[in-house]
């Protein structure tokens, strides 16, 4: 059975269309038909064989889990890719999340991935659902531009070592400052679980283990923030 996910709002649905993706179903309130962009999207969805459904704010509120829902939402088939089909040569940066449990963090990583020109996000172990409403919302449309693949760790390593790629883990236990190494493309940035960080054997399998300077008392960063700081360092090196 095909799995579906929900994306909300005219802006995101428009970005999806620009990336070549139309919803299987588009739901909207009466008012939103007054908006020319909404009318175009509804027409395009129907022309592509999708369903267009006029509905109420109450229904959209239920669907989105928000008291104040967007006036237009799309329902899309999930876009998950088999790791074997991922073409690593398409981008210089790839993000890898290990047991990330917060869907907001996954969505934020997708958004950051889009910003740095990453190819996509590879999910290892028991991650949150990247197609959950919260993750899709946080991705701000990047759910449609970033490749998403799921793999078990040994399978990911097999795939990774079957081609070019530098695996860089971030860890509070690392000695190496994240600005010291020369990163080579494609760089795979591996971020571990929000509480536990990377398991030791995962860290050992990395080509490099780096840490950001920590000047404070708490000695850690939000996982999506750490990924972004790391990703911009890699991008900054590549664009020099």
What is the contact surface with a second copy in residues (CB under 8 A)?
Answer: 15, 18-19, 104, 108, 111-117, 138, 140-142, 145, 179, 212-222, 224-225, 228-229, 232, 235-236, 239
Three-class SS of residue 177?
Answer: strand
Pick between residue 32 and residue 108 the one whose CB is nearest to a second copy: 108
- State the minimum distance, in angstroms, from the CB of residue 154 to a second copy: 31
Q: What is the H or E stretch that residue 108 is in?
A: helix 103-115
Pick between residue 85 and residue 239 the one whose CB is nearest to a second copy: 239
- State the minimum distance, in angstroms, from the CB of residue 108 to a second copy: 5
Pick between residue 149 and residue 212 the one whose CB is nearest to a second copy: 212
Q: Where are the alpha helices (DSSP H) in 3-64?
A: 10-18, 36-47, 57-64
- State the minimum distance, in angstroms, from the CB of residue 148 to a second copy: 15
- State the minimum distance, in angstroms, from the CB of residue 155 to a second copy: 28
C-alpha dihedral (18, 119, 146, 100), degrees to nearest 10: -160
Pick between residue 50 and residue 141 the one whose CB is nearest to a second copy: 141
- State the minimum distance, in angstroms, from the CB of residue 53 to a second copy: 27
Pick between residue 148 and residue 205 the one whose CB is nearest to a second copy: 148
Q: How far is CA 187 from CA 88, 119, 124, 160, 184, in A?
A: 10, 11, 17, 11, 6
- State the minimum distance, in angstroms, from the CB of residue 56 to a second copy: 25
- Give phi and psi for 104, each to the nearest 5: -60, -40
For residues 121 and 144, give the distance between their C-alpha atoms in angstroms, rounded to a whole number: 12
Strand-pair partners of 10: none
Pick between residue 23 and residue 211 the one whose CB is nearest to a second copy: 211
Would you say the C-alpha torsion 84, 85, 90, 95 has a positive or negative sign? negative
């Amino acid at each position: 059975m095909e799995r579906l996910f929900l994306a909300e709002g005219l802006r995101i649905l428009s970005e999806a269309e620009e990336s070549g993706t139309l919803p299987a179903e588009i739901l909207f309130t009466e008012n939103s038909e007054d908006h020319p962009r909404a009318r175009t999207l509804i027409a395009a969805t129907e022309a592509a064989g999708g369903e267009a459904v006029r509905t109420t704010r109450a229904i959209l509120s239920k669907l989105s889990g928000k008291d104040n829902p967007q006036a237009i939402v799309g329902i899309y088939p999930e876009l998950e890719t088999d790791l074997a089909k991922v073409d690593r040569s398409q981008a210089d940066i790839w993000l890898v999340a290990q047991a990330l449990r917060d869907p907001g963090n996954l969505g934020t990583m997708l958004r950051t991935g889009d910003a740095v020109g990453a190819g996509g996000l590879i999910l290892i172990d028991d991650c949150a659902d990247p197609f959950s409403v919260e993750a899709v919302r946080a991705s701000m449309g990047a759910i449609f531009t970033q490749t998403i693949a799921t793999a078990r760790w040994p399978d990911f390593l097999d795939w990774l070592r079957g081609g070019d790629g530098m695996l860089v883990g971030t860890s509070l236990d690392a000695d190496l400052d994240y600005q010291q190494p020369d990163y080579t493309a494609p760089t795979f940035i591996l971020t571990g679980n929000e509480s536990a960080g990377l398991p030791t054997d995962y860290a050992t399998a990395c080509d490099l283990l780096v840490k950001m300077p920590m000047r404070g008392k708490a000695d850690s960063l939000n996982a999506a923030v750490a990924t972004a700081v790391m990703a911009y360092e890699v991008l900054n090196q590549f664009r020099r």
